[in-house]
Amino acid sequence: MWKNINAAPEDSILGLTEAFRKETNPRKVNLGVGVYKDDDGNTPILHCVKAAEAILLQKERSKTYLPISGDPSYAAGVQNLLFGEESEVIASYRAATVHTPGGTGALRVGADLLKKFKPDAKVWVSAPTWANHKGIFGSAGFPLDEYPYYNPVTKKVDFEKMLACLEAIPERDIVLLHACCHNPSGVDLSAEQWQQVAQMSRQKGWTPFLDFAYQGLGQGIVEDRLAIAQFALLREDYFVASSFSKNFGLYNERTGALTLVSPSPEESKVAMSHLKSTVRVCYSNPPAHGGLVVATILNDPALHAQWLGELNGMRERIVGMRAALVDGLAKRGVRGDFSSIKEQRGMFSFSGISDETVAWLRDRKGIYVVGGGRINLAGLSSKNIEYVCDSIAEALK
Ligand code: LMR
């Protein structure tokens, strides 16, 4: 079967990790995939996760299937994180949440479900966006288009152009938005801008689909809810994909969720029925462990507090590395203004370095950066920052 078929290209992000594993340069640094590392270069298991796992080990009596939608305590925890415990959306039973295998699973379930009911829609993604967005929605059969987002000259959001484009998008279409910590640019909208976007979606009627993979890694759990809060105020219906890979460090447990908000509890029940039928034919029901870990942490006040502390620690370390990179490059007199890296949020930054420099850094220095110049700041540490700054300075001199 494969004799006359060309191999598929490597994934632009995960493929880089595979290449990095084979890299023989002893000083190698992986600034590619969005995975948190501590100052020693390890991706730790959070202490709260270890504690929750110990509880589960004692408590679990069966490995029988979860419901198609996942464990109800997990869905409740997800909704509290998204909307806040006091939210009207929760009190009025207007949110339907299914536990999905990671944020990617959430996006794909949402895409498959939307294809059934909006077969003629186009999906709009930000320019630029996470490479897999196009793959996921494209594979679900949607044509794709881009709305303006990041301006490489100002290193800010091109908000006027973005809004003008959103204004011209027809009701039939779907608009994918990064709720916080825009991937790949690290540049987010302000509260006021989110209000205008939510207002625009209400006026034009297109379907908002918020990808929320970094809650807590921007400014904090509550602060990062900005976008969701505006949609909760201004729209009765929208989609939210959550991921707990980064903020709980549960990368390989594939722990995510898809939440559909509807105008009424009756409609929410219908939405849930279709979520379940979409999941059933895709992967039947979710893997339990990651969701049970998250639910255990969120439902235990002490573990919850411990998690917030650990999450704050990860965020602060990344903020510190942003400053160290900017200062390190300035100290070396590197051409170009990198100061905006300090203002960006989340794990990523568009460094502004060209694909040619990306290739040079990889070949000559063993420093791996995603094409387009996206840097994962969480891959920097006190041990490699001087080497990375020296190498970039050498490349750009
Ligand atoms: C990333 O953008 O690096 C992460 O979201 C990991 C992935 O799956 O691509």
What are 151-196's pLDDT values in tens digits? 999 999 999 999 999 999 999 999 999 999 999 999 999 999 999 9
pLDDT in tens, 58-97: 999 999 999 999 999 999 999 999 999 999 999 999 999 9
Is residue 242 in contact with ligand 1, taking CB distance under 6 Å? no
| Residue whose pair of structure tokens reads 């709009």 in the numeric block | 124
Catalytic residues: 130, 211, 246
How close is the Cα of 349 to the center of ligand 1, in Å? 13
Atom in ligand 1 nearest the alpha carbon of residue 33: 3
How close is the Cα of 33 to the center of ligand 1, in Å? 5
Is residue 214 in contact with ligand 1, taking CB distance under 6 Å? no
pLDDT at 372 over 90: no
Residue with CA nearest ligand 1 atom 1: 34
The C-alpha atoms of residue 351 and residue 374 are separated, in whole angstroms, by: 6
Cα–Cα nearest to 357, from 344, 347, 348, 370:
370
pLDDT for the residue numbered 335: 84
178 close to 337: Cβ distance less than 8 angstroms: no
Mutation test of ligand 1: which of 33, 212, 348, 375 has the most ligand atoms closer than 8 Å to its C-beta? 33
Is residue 217 in contact with ligand 1, taking CB distance under 6 Å? no
pLDDT in tens, 247-258: 999 999 999 999
Phi-psi map region of 234: left, alpha, beta (phi>0 left; psi -120 to 50 alpha): alpha
pLDDT in tens, 276-315: 999 999 999 999 999 999 999 999 999 999 999 999 999 9
pLDDT at 42 over 90: yes
How close is the Cα of 184 to the center of ligand 1, in Å? 9
Is residue 13 in contact with ligand 1, taking CB distance under 6 Å? yes
350 φ/ψ angles, rounded to the nearest 5 degrees: -85, 110
Is residue 70 in contact with ligand 1, taking CB distance under 6 Å? no
Strands 348-350 and 374-376: antiparallel
Residue with CA nearest ligand 1 atom 9: 13
pLDDT in tens, 198-220: 999 999 999 999 999 999 999 99
Residue with CA nearest ligand 1 atom 4: 34
Mutation test of ligand 1: which of 125, 130, 246 has the most ligand atoms closer than 8 Å to its C-beta? 130
pLDDT in tens, 317-362: 999 999 999 999 999 999 888 899 999 999 999 888 899 999 999 9
Mutation test of ligand 1: which of 12, 13, 182 has the most ligand atoms closer than 8 Å to its C-beta? 13
Is residue 347 in contact with ligand 1, taking CB distance under 6 Å? no
353 close to 396: Cβ distance less than 8 angstroms: yes
pLDDT for the residue numbered 375: 94
pLDDT for the residue numbered 352: 83
Is residue 33 in contact with ligand 1, taking CB distance under 6 Å? yes
Cα–Cα nearest to 184, from 367, 322, 374:
374
The C-alpha atoms of residue 300 and residue 145 are separated, in whole angstroms, by: 43
Mutation test of ligand 1: which of 36, 125, 126, 132 has the most ligand atoms closer than 8 Å to its C-beta? 132
258 close to 98: Cβ distance less than 8 angstroms: yes
Contacts of residue 257, defined as CB under 8 A and 6 or more positions apart, other chains included, come to 70, 74, 75, 78, 97, 98, 99, 100, 106, 241, 242
pLDDT for the residue numbered 283: 97
pLDDT in tens, 90-134: 999 999 999 999 999 999 999 999 999 999 999 999 999 999 999
Is residue 130 in contact with ligand 1, taking CB distance under 6 Å? yes
Which uninterrupted H or E stretch holds 302? helix 301-331
pLDDT for the residue numbered 129: 96
How close is the Cα of 91 to the center of ligand 1, in Å? 33
Atom in ligand 1 nearest the alpha carbon of residue 184: 2
How close is the Cα of 246 to the center of ligand 1, in Å? 10
Q: Which residue has the higher pLDDT, 11 or 111?
A: 111
The C-alpha atoms of residue 29 and residue 392 are separated, in whole angstroms, by: 13
The C-alpha atoms of residue 77 and residue 369 are separated, in whole angstroms, by: 35
